[in-house]
Each structure stands twice: as C-alpha cells, then as structure tokens.
Amino acid sequence: MSDMTLLDAVNRALFFEMKHDENVVVLGEDVGVNGGVFRATSGLQQEFGVKRVMDTPLAEALISGLAVGMSTQGLRPVMEIQFMGFIFPALEHIICHAARMRNRTRGRLSCPLVLRAPYSGGIRAPEHHSESTEALLTHIPGLRVVVPSSPMRAYGLLLAAIRDPDPVIFLEPKRIYRAVNQPVTEGEALPLDMCFTLREGSDITLVSWGACIPDALAAATTLAAEHDISAEVIDAATLQPLDMETIQNSVAKTGRCVIIHEANKSHGVGAEIAAQLAEKSLLDLQAPICRVTGFDTVVPYFQNENSFLPDQHDIVQAVLKTINFS
C-alpha cells in the first residue's frame, strides 16, 4: 500500500495491468515519449516499448478505429483522448461499432477497450478543455461510463475497466488529478456498476460523482457542525449502468435528496436520477428533489469558471432549502 494522487493512481493501474496482461496496449496522442498531456502514461513506453505504448497522429477517429480493431482481435487497448472536448471524432467508432459489437455479432465478438479522457473544469483551460458531457455517453446502449472521485477509486475502477469484456468510457476529473494523496493497495480492483456510500447519514442524501465529491463531503461536514444535519454522501462512480438501488435505499432512509454535478443542468445524469426517484421512490420523499449543477452554457474561461462550477456553499444552501421545505 502506498500514498498516491489520482493521476498517480491512473498511471500505476495502467502499469499493473500491462505487467500482468501482455494483451493490454496503450495508444493516443503523446502518450509514449511525453507520457501524456498530464503525464498519466509517464514511463510506460520506456518500460513496455513502442509496440505496446503507441504515439498516434492527432486524429481521434484513427485512435478509436484502431482500438476497435485491436479489441476484436484479442488485445485490450486503452486509448487516451487528450481532453473530453476532443472526443467527438472518436464517437463514430465508439458508438457505431464498439458499443454494438456484442449485439451485432450475437456474442461472437466484443470490444474490451477503455477510452480514457481527462474531463470537467477547474483548471482554467480554454474552450474544448472543460466540458462535462457524460450524459451524451450514458445514453448509448453497450457503453459503461465510469467517473472516479479519488485515487483509491481511480486505481481500482481502472483495473476493473481494463479487465471488463466490453467497452468502458473512463472519465478522469482533472481538477482533482493532484488534489489529494490517498493510500492505494496494489492490484486491488473495485466493482463496476455500483455506488459507494462514503458517509452515512439520516436527514438527507447527497448524490454526486467525480470532482464534485470532495465538495459534497465538505458540505456534509459543514452541515453536521453548523446545522446539526446528518447528510449521507453517495458516489455514483459508474453512471451507466447506474446503481439506483443504493440511491433508492438511501432516500428511503433520509426522505430527501440533493444531486450535485458539474455538467449543464438540462438533460443531465442528475435529471435521470431524479426521474427514477420520482418513479420508484415518490412516497419516500418528504421534499422535492434538488439539483446543484453547472449552467446551460459553455464553460466560461479562466476566473469566470469559478462562477460556473457548483461548490460547497451551493450544496449547503440547497440542503437547507430542501430540509426546510414545507
């Protein structure tokens, strides 16, 4: 067990799987010689060679097409898209082929690939670098969508994603890449397709994922200390397929729910969670579900980005509003 950042955890998970499975290969723009734009793949090419850690042209459609072909022929490619805002040329192969391959061939072929992409805001980057468009991908049958929120979950979920027999989209919240160090156990995978209850509570359920989880936990601490409110914090982690059972069980206990995400408010994953709670848990709710989210606009540049991102204060205010509903 050793302490590492989320970025370190991604690197070490890739190293572990490549060491133990010769079919795991890494490809993408600058992932080899330079070790990736954030250095998530640093040292891998030096350790495993150019045939297993491949620098590609600046061509996302090419990267995803290669990954689909590799994955149908026995390899387990891990492709990197430098920023989520550059993912769109890759989606033709991911949506039309990777996500459909198992169904198209009636199980004869599948695509055990992972698409990694730094995503979300918080580093004051220019246009195309700060999007949180996970809802686009959760709508596609055949894709898993995973978002880690800590070094431990980044490491364990990436191991599980690489080992999964079907395509996984692995979105890495870049503003918490180096935010904290956490003990991580080598080789220990975590289960996909389930939520993680990070803090037990009795008065309200906070549901979030990715970089908003630290804010949700901080808000829960403030609520307990300053308002005597006990908040349960749930990390959704795998957004598709979504573990609604854990969320429903929590809401049955607390009677209230606030959903927090960085993406635009309309048509987001938070809306899907709210819809399912309305369908299945309406009689458990003592107040309307509240969403704390980004705005329905392009993420603004630089200092103005802080006004777009939900924070601890926004969460606390939403909880107080929900608790005091009558």
pLDDT digit string (tens) for 79-110? 999 999 999 999 999 999 999 999 999 999 99
112: domain CATH number is 3.40.50.970
Asked whether 19 and 49 are in contact (CB, 8 A), the reply is no
87 and 158 housed in the same domain: yes
C-alpha–C-alpha distance, residues 135 and 240, integer Å: 9
The confidence band for 123, taking pLDDT boundaries of 50, 70 and 90, is confident
167 and 135 housed in the same domain: yes
152 and 205 housed in the same domain: no
C-alpha–C-alpha distance, residues 154 and 274, integer Å: 26
Mean of pLDDT values over 116-139:
90
175 and 219 housed in the same domain: no
Residue found by looking up tokens 């990954």 in the block: 67
220 and 147 housed in the same domain: no
- By residue range, what is the domain housing residue 39? 2-184
DSSP codes of every residue in 81-137: -SSGGG-GGGHHHIIIIITTHHHHTTTS-----EEEEEESS-S---TTSS---HHHH
Per DSSP, the three-state class of 199 is strand
Residue 282 backbone dihedrals phi, psi, to 5 degrees: -55, -40
Per DSSP, the three-state class of 138 is helix
Residue found by looking up tokens 């009636």 in the block: 106
208 and 150 housed in the same domain: no
55 and 27 housed in the same domain: yes
Active site residues: 129
Q: Is residue 9 part of a domain?
A: yes
Domain end among 130, 153, 184: 184
* The pLDDT of residue 326 is above 80: no
* The pLDDT of residue 17 is above 90: yes
pLDDT of residue 157: 98
* The pLDDT of residue 306 is above 90: no
Summarize pLDDT for 187-237 with one digit per residue, the tens.
999 999 999 999 999 999 999 999 999 999 999 999 999 999 999 999 999
Q: What is the pTM of this model?
A: 0.96
* The pLDDT of residue 159 is above 70: yes
124 and 230 housed in the same domain: no
